[in-house]
Structure 1
Amino acid sequence: MNSSLALDALTTAQPIKDDITQHEISALKTRFNLADAHTHQAQSPSQQQIIQNLPALWYQAESQTQYQSEQAFIETFFTFHGQRHALKRRDEIYLVYAASIAMHITATYLRKRNMSVGLIEPCFDNLHDLLKHMEVPMTPLPESIFADPAMVYSQLSQHAEGLDAIFLVDPNNPTGTSLFADGPEPFVEVARYCRDHGKLLILDFCFASFLLASGRKRVDAYQILDEMGTDYIVMEDTGKTWPLQDTKCATLMSSTRINPDIYSLVTSVLLNVSPFVLNVVTQYVRDSAQDQFASVRDLLDRNRAIARECLHGDFLNYLEPKVETSVAWFEIRRDGVTADALQAYLLTHEIYVLPGKYFYWSQPERGQKYIRLALARKPEDFAAAVQTIARALEVFNG
């Protein structure tokens, strides 16, 4: 089992999958599922108290209005994230039951206006697929153009001149890069460029909680955008942060000028998110505000350290992110070994990881040197998984 030819043979035996989600569905059947970034860790002691209080939260949802449940969540979530400026237009913060719904609404808006988009690469392939299915023209924007704050404006002038919109993910999934990691200057330059050139700025902040988990304060992005006069659509999420078993809520907000159009799309999709779900999620946000994110941060830190200790070496290179999120991004150091082949090999050991090709949506071959591991797992299960990977790689090395 110590040749790339053997690995390639394993790869060809695997059913072809169109996207990451199809891999994640398959991974749910596997003993060690390190594919999807959904939260599968156990509850902390204080979160267990929330679970014990579920009947009361149910009856609370019955006894108050939908609007009260919505506003309690909005106030709690945006205050916790330091995005208080958005609360000045709290009635124009729209709630949907999954971030993919917010993304679909955004893609519909772009398609109706025949807008072209510059989409960051790499990024989670769900964004690309939604835009592709809506037949929105896309151009890749390499992460590297945002690395130097002094060059962001000129780099965008070079890469985005003919585009109508710029779509960024921050922190990015899977790499952990962020416009805010070392201060707000890169983000300010992006907002300024979009304003000056009349481009719509679309921001996926679904991993933004991990800025807080890493000990940083979030800059009030909504204030920067409004004061700059930049048109924007921003989505945020709860499903990748707290162990909610997909009982989640996402938010969608846009600049004042385009808000009426976005609102019409939102109301064509759904009426409301369950008030019971909103009550539950609000309690989890409050819990993290009280423990300063310890229940989320400590588990991810522990699993990240285990992954680095067990897997970083001659075969895999752990890539340090700007912002530590709930995934780990590894580079394959072994010549001739593709991510597809390594994934297939590990699957023979009942381990499911994601190959990097899906994140490089315009150049899948560039992603063949990377794999992604999800960290939001019970520590004992995660440790067993990465130790199994390490033993499997030892066998491969002979």
Structure 2
Amino acid sequence: MTERLLDLTQHEIQALKTRHNLADAHTHQRQSPTQRAIVAALPDLWYEAEQTPQAVLEDRFKDAFFQLHGQHSVRGGERTLLSYAASISTIVTGMYLAQRQLSVSLVEPCFDNLPDVLKNLGVHPVPVPEEVLHDPALIYQRLVETVRTDALFLVDPNNPTGFTLLRHGRTGFQEVVRYCVDHHKLLVLDLCFAAFALADPRFGRFDLYELLDGSGVRYIALEDTGKTWPLQDAKCSLLTPSPDLYPDLYNINTSVLLDVSPFVLNFVTRYVQDSTHDAMASVREVVAGNRELAQKKLHGSLLEHQEPVVDVSVAWFRIRDERVTASELHRRVAARGVYVLPGTYFYWSDPRPGERYVRLALARDPREFARSLDRLREAVDDCG
């Protein structure tokens, strides 16, 4: 069955049927003590949402989100469009690119949902290797040498590798923006994993929108709550374009949906505020603890942990033995009831480099995660 699957999402659907699901990056960890208090208050949140105007709930959510993330320059602004999933915001972005017949360069590797959405809308991205972004002193020149399209589409932090331009503070983003301004490129930023940079004590976030708006670059920025908190997939995505693009993006967005559920907005806002109060501890501790456990339990096996720049909620492992491919390893561990994602799909333009990697999801209950790792280690050792 797994050999016939078209994309990573179809793999994740299969993984949801398994006992040891280490595939999808959705949040399956348990609630923290303060989050349990939010769950206990769900009836009150429901009735509060009934009695509160939609616009008030939307503004409250956006203000709480951007306050948590330190993006103060867009707090209280009118440019941010909400939807109930990051995929919807990506579709709106892709529709804009298709309408304007803009060609796109997209970072590789990245989650295959992005190129798939674009292709389904008639936009066929060309790859930009992530390595182009690794050295801030060379970013500008390497983009000049690499990008031949109208738009540049980056994912930061990147899924699956955990790379971020924040590695060198503001410099990486500044160089990308400088290139886009000088060469008249539209910059599209998928920031859906940005909460993990915020939670990582080595990084945090500076006010990126202040940089973007001050530079004059044309941009579309996508953010999300879906991979951050254990919300049973109740979530909200944010799309913020530069002022010149807002009218067009607004018109496309309203053709797709009216609004996000007022109850979901009210519910998710409480989780955002909770993370403001605990400084992202509930997110950081689960991910960091499970990453450390994965490294410990898989040490000395076929799988070699690839250290991310940002401690995102997925772990990227290289297969040490050149004779074992990711596709083969995936099949053999799946037969033992453990589901990981093969790296082939992340290398969306050419799957061959992805045969050296697999991805594990970390947003899991630590006790269940430990049992899944034990089963994975047994299966991996049998492949050696």
**Distance in 1 (alpha carbons) for counterparts of 2:262 and 2:145:** 46
Aligned residues: 383
User: In structure 2, which of residues 170, 174, 182 is the aligned counterpart of residue 188 of structure 1?
Assistant: 174
Instruction: State the partner residue of 2:69.
Output: 81
C-alpha deviation, 1:91, in angstroms: 1.6
Q: TM-score, normalised by structure 1?
A: 0.95
Instruction: State the partner residue of 2:28.
Output: 40
Instruction: State the partner residue of 1:200.
Output: 186
After the TM superposition, list the runs of 4 or more consecutive aligned residues in structure 1 that deviate by more than 4 angstroms.
none
Instruction: State the partner residue of 2:42.
Output: 54
C-alpha deviation, 1:64, in angstroms: 1.1
Residue 49 of structure 1 aligns with an amino acid whose one-letter code is A
1:156 and 2:140 matched: no
Instruction: State the partner residue of 1:7.
Output: none
User: Unmatched 5+ residue regions in structure 1?
Assistant: 1-12
Instruction: State the partner residue of 2:56.
Output: 68
Instruction: State the partner residue of 1:3.
Output: none
Note the 1:137-176 alignment, pairs <5 A. Answer: 137-160=124-147, 162-176=148-162
Residue 195 of structure 1 aligns with an amino acid whose one-letter code is V
What SS is found at the alignment partner of 2:47?
Answer: helix
Q: TM-score, normalised by structure 2?
A: 0.98
Instruction: State the partner residue of 2:296.
Output: 309
**Distance in 1 (alpha carbons) for counterparts of 2:129 and 2:382:** 36
C-alpha deviation, 1:287, in angstroms: 0.6
Deviations 1:55-101 (A, max 9, x none): 1111111111000000000000001100011125x221111000000
C-alpha deviation, 1:314, in angstroms: 4.4
Instruction: State the partner residue of 1:26.
Output: 14
Residue 22 of structure 2 aligns with an amino acid whose one-letter code is L
C-alpha deviation, 1:396, in angstroms: 3.1
User: In structure 2, which of residues 163, 177, 182 is the aligned counterpart of residue 177 of structure 1?
Assistant: 163
**Distance in 2 (alpha carbons) for counterparts of 1:60 and 1:69:** 10
Deviations 1:210-258 (A, max 9, x none): 0111112201111101100000000100010000010000000100111
- Asked if 2 retains the 8 angstrom alpha-carbon contact of 1:115 and 1:137, the reply is no
User: In structure 2, which of residues 71, 74, 78 is the aligned counterpart of residue 91 of structure 1?
Assistant: 78
C-alpha deviation, 1:184, in angstroms: 1.1
**Distance in 2 (alpha carbons) for counterparts of 1:74 and 1:222:** 14
Deviations 1:317-354 (A, max 9, x none): 10000001000000000121110100000011100000
Instruction: State the partner residue of 1:330.
Output: 317
User: In structure 2, which of residues 252, 260, 274 is the aligned counterpart of residue 273 of structure 1?
Assistant: 260
**Distance in 2 (alpha carbons) for counterparts of 1:377 and 1:56:** 28
Instruction: State the partner residue of 1:381.
Output: 368
Residue 193 of structure 2 aligns with an amino acid whose one-letter code is F
**Distance in 1 (alpha carbons) for counterparts of 2:360 and 2:37:** 30
Instruction: State the partner residue of 2:285.
Output: 298
What SS is found at the alignment partner of 1:118?
Answer: strand
**Root mean square deviation, CA, Å:** 1.0
- Asked if 2 retains the 8 angstrom alpha-carbon contact of 1:122 and 1:174, the reply is yes
- Asked if 2 retains the 8 angstrom alpha-carbon contact of 1:95 and 1:273, the reply is yes
What SS is found at the alignment partner of 2:24?
Answer: coil
